[in-house]
Amino acid sequence: MREVLAEAAFQLFMERGFERTTVDDIVARAGVGRRSFFRYFPSKDDAVFPDHESCLADMTAFLDAADDTRDAVDVVLEAAGIVLRMYAANPEFSVQRYRLTRQVPGLRTYELSFVRRYERTFAGYLTRRWADAEDGALRAEVVAAAVVAAHNNGLRAWLRSGGEGDAEASVDHALGLVRRIWGEAGPAGAGGTSDDEVVVMVAPKGAPMWRVIQRVESALRED
């Protein structure tokens, strides 16, 4: 029933536009009563994003169950993959919804509140993992924001392409930037993490950190 309503709603939004579609139109199309709609969705906006709530629940469960000996940033990057798979599971719907959301400011605001909830979920997990670290909560919030920004950059590139190509590759590329800066695996993300191994880096004092990291990466590739 929930899916039938969401599908009817979305069809109508695409045919008539979001603003001109009423809940009455939606229930007529779905062949159910008005009360059924509000049993599943608090508002018309919610029917546009029927999966975010369950996706957030899945993500929270994933983070709660994650092994605390794992690199915290890697765990969060993996959790971000849950969102990506929700979009990638239905490219046509995701692309159409992306276009619809661009046109309706209210939907953008609504989507933004979910983005913020994902970010807070990541930050909450990282804050717990870094509870004893200096500025742990600050770092947790900055990393969570960086993960969300990178994820959305990769996702948007894929949505803008009309859902062509590999969504996962697009997002992985974007998240790589965060992994290289913040991940425990170090700049190369290389497997060799014996504590005895060292990297010796020589760089101009004034070089920006990302250029320094690029240099370290290319040095490691030459190994």
| Nearest approach, Cβ of residue 126 and a copy of itself (Å) | 11
How many residues bind a copy of itself (CB under 8 A)? The answer is 55
Residue 73-112 contact track with a copy of itself, rule CB under 8 A, x = bound: x-----------------------------------x--x
Does position 121 bind a copy of itself by CB under 8 A?
no
Does position 135 bind a copy of itself by CB under 8 A?
yes
Among 144, 155, 159, 167, binds a copy of itself (CB under 8 A): 144
Q: How far apart are the first and last CA of the chain?
A: 58
| Nearest approach, Cβ of residue 137 and a copy of itself (Å) | 7
Q: Got the DSSP string for 61-121?
A: HHHHHS-TTS-HHHHHHHHHHHHHHHHHTSHHHHHHHHHHHHH-HHHHHHHHHHHHHHHHH
Does position 180 bind a copy of itself by CB under 8 A?
yes
| Nearest approach, Cβ of residue 77 and a copy of itself (Å) | 13
Does position 172 bind a copy of itself by CB under 8 A?
no
- CA distance linking residue 179 with residue 49, whole number of Å: 29
- Contact between 152 and 108 (Cβ < 8 Å): no
Tokens of 184: 């425990």
CB nearer a copy of itself, residue 100 or residue 203: 203
- CA distance linking residue 179 with residue 143, whole number of Å: 10
Tokens of 78: 């993996």
Amino acid symbol at 206: G
Does position 113 bind a copy of itself by CB under 8 A?
yes
CB nearer a copy of itself, residue 66 or residue 219: 219
Residue 78: exposure state from Cβ atoms within 10 A (0-12, 13-18, ≥19): middle
Of the candidate spans 7-15, 24-32, 85-93, 130-138, the one that interacts with a copy of itself by CB under 8 A turns out to be 130-138
Does position 167 bind a copy of itself by CB under 8 A?
no
- CA distance linking residue 122 with residue 143, whole number of Å: 9
Q: For the chain, what's the residue count?
A: 223
- The residues binding a copy of itself (CB under 8 A) are 73, 109, 112-113, 116, 135, 137-139, 141-142, 144-146, 148-150, 152-154, 174, 177-178, 180-188, 190, 192-210, 212-213, 220
